[in-house]
Structure 1
């Protein structure tokens, strides 16, 4: 079996994972179901992108899968932000509580809207995309290919390891959130290429390629660090958008009390509900968290050991027997 067949079977297995996650979402759009779908779709898109010369998924289908993935972003960001705010509520001063409660309600409403939109879009769009994708992958079974699955995967791992190395080097030159996000994506793509050759991952080679599991674990740790930074940036963006809405809602409430001949006691009570002190405290905490994330990333440098380990796995794949890999992947078709 060659690269085309190995990539095709891997993609079919990942398509099945997306299908199962979509069915779970169809039954109920909770945070866990949405997370499972996001991860499954991200793995599938990574596979289609990496092995595009052999799978030939087509630009139109690739764009539609990308748009589908983006429909889940708002709900996921709101979910993470809501959890962060709720964790800090007990530590806030009484005058800061109204702002935190307002932001929690704002994020909860945003999350609910995001879940509803994501669930509707996923059920509708994936139902149309899946048959087309499987048809594309079935067509790939007739293509001839001389390269082995291991040799092609090894070359791709080398290419992605080089890209991650460049992205990490850029991070050390300056603190830019977009560069950190780019490095995170590079790390994910590299991890998804390594996973089929990791014994601890379902669908991987039974014996495993030496060093693959350890490299995947190190990449996961790096992605967690970069993910914390990305989540903090998303929270700061949401605070930037939400603060004017909170101030406007508070001003309208105070003015309504004043114009309706409210008593001084009512006005004083309304003033205690000013959301700005709490929002400012949360914004400072998020900004401090962002600074801590950058400090942790710089402390780890360019992750030379991680890059070297990935290149070592790629070198071993050059002489690895791919038959077990193809058999393992085919069991998930």
Structure 2
């Protein structure tokens, strides 16, 4: 990579960061207003995830000190939204799905689910209030301003818009990383598959958010396969997290029928992950 290409790609990174900071500020304003919606929080989380993924895509051109400072700061901000997301997944997906799967005569399971839903709603409300207070802190806006000022020095005028070789190289690197982390999906730990899911998400964001800025294109079909794989790997992770969270709220452990429903769904997700990873291995990254 030439010195000028390095600077031009870094400038593209700066433009992407600036754009995402503006979107984050807009989302924060909606979250601070009366009656923010779940969709407002979702948009904030998605924008923040894409912003963090830029550090992965553009890693070869980013200054070491810049990465060392800002990756952990953005990771901490993203981590603050995690509990609300986990309660939302539990309440909107896993507990309702478990209820539908239980036979009518499983009174013990249904009573446990009623208590789990009530306790989970209370915990979600507490987490939501804590998150709103944290996001309303002046420290968050100050951090965004600091980041905006830092990347401003990366901008150059009139940089070329086609850097497809760099884009394809980054896609190839993420493909290799995903295949490595996604080995043996039928028996790998949920944590390892969660890490594979993170790579799949970063790869998809590369195609959706950063390829156009680099003058490259990726087939919609490929992005669709990545999304399906990401969803399957996510379910494997969510089953363990969801069970741990709700079990910690109640005095009684979940009945075997509930545990069985969760684990059955995780096994199905692992099968889909096997198929998705097989497809990835047999197709080159665009």
The TM-score normalised by the length of structure 1 is 0.72
Match of 2:26 in 1: 20
Match in the other structure for 2:163: 149
CA distance in 1: counterparts of 2:169 and 2:231, whole angstroms: 26
Change (3 A) 1:153 1:111: same
Q: Indicate if the aligned counterparts of 1:239 and 1:283 stay in contact, CA closer than 8 A.
A: no
Q: Which residue of 2 aligns with 1:135?
A: 149
CA deviations over 1:45-77 (Å, ceiling 9, x no partner): 110233244344342232111011011111111
Aligned match of 1:158: 172
Q: Does the CA contact (< 8 Å) of 1:74 and 1:114 recur in 2?
A: yes
| Counterpart residue number, 1:225 | 232
Question: Which residue in the other structure is 1:3 paired with?
Answer: 9
Aligned to 1:103: 116
**Whole-angstrom distance in 1 between the partners of 2:29 and 2:23:** 10
Superimposed CA distance per residue, residues 262-313 of structure 1 (whole angstroms, 9 cap, x where no aligned partner): xxxxxxxxxxxxxx6x6443222112211222233224453236741x2xx2
**1:85 aligns to what?**
95
Q: 1:292 aligns with which of 248, 268, 274?
A: 268
The Cα of 1:78 is off from its aligned counterpart by: 0.9
SS at match of 2:155: helix
Q: Deviations over 1:8-31 (max 9, x none)?
A: 212222222222222222224432
Secondary structure of the residue that 2:136 maps to in structure 1? Answer: helix
Is 1:303 paired with 2:279? yes
More relative contact order, 1 or 2 (CA 8 Å, 6+ apart): 1
- Alignment check: 8 A CA contact 1:232 1:290 kept: yes
Assess, with a 3 A threshold, how the Cα gap between structure 1 residues 279 and 25 changes in structure 2: closer, same or farther: farther
Q: 1:32 aligns with which of 27, 32, 39?
A: 39
Structure 1 position 223, deviation (Å):
0.8
In the alignment, the residues of structure 2 paired with residue 47 and residue 100 of structure 1 have an alpha-carbon distance, to the nearest angstrom, of: 40
- Specify whether residues 218 and 38 from structure 1 end up closer, same or farther in structure 2 by C-alpha distance, changes over 3 A only: same
Aligned residue for 1:59?
68
Q: Secondary structure at the match of 1:169?
A: coil
Unaligned residue ranges in structure 1 (runs of 5+) = 199-203, 248-275, 314-333
CA deviation digits over 1:78-130, x for unaligned, max 9?
11111222344465534433211110011111111111122222222421211
Structure 2 stretches of 5 or more lacking a match?
none
- Aligned counterparts of 1:215 and 1:31: Cα–Cα separation in 2: 29
**CA–CA distance in 1 between the matches of 2:225 and 2:136?**
34
- Distance between the aligned counterparts of 1:67 and 1:111, measured in 2? 20
Contact kept, 8 Å, 2:12 with 2:155, in 1: the verdict is: no
Match of 1:183 in 2: 196
Q: Distance in 1 between matches of 2:110 and 2:205?
A: 42
- 1:147 Cα deviation from its structure 2 partner: 11
In 2, Cα distance between equivalents of 1:53 and 1:175: 30
Checking the alignment, whether the CA contact within 8 Å between 2:50 and 2:209 is kept in structure 1 is no
Q: What residue is the counterpart of 1:72 in the other structure?
A: 81
Residue 32 of structure 1 deviates from its aligned partner by 1.8
TM-score, scaled relative to structure 2 = 0.83
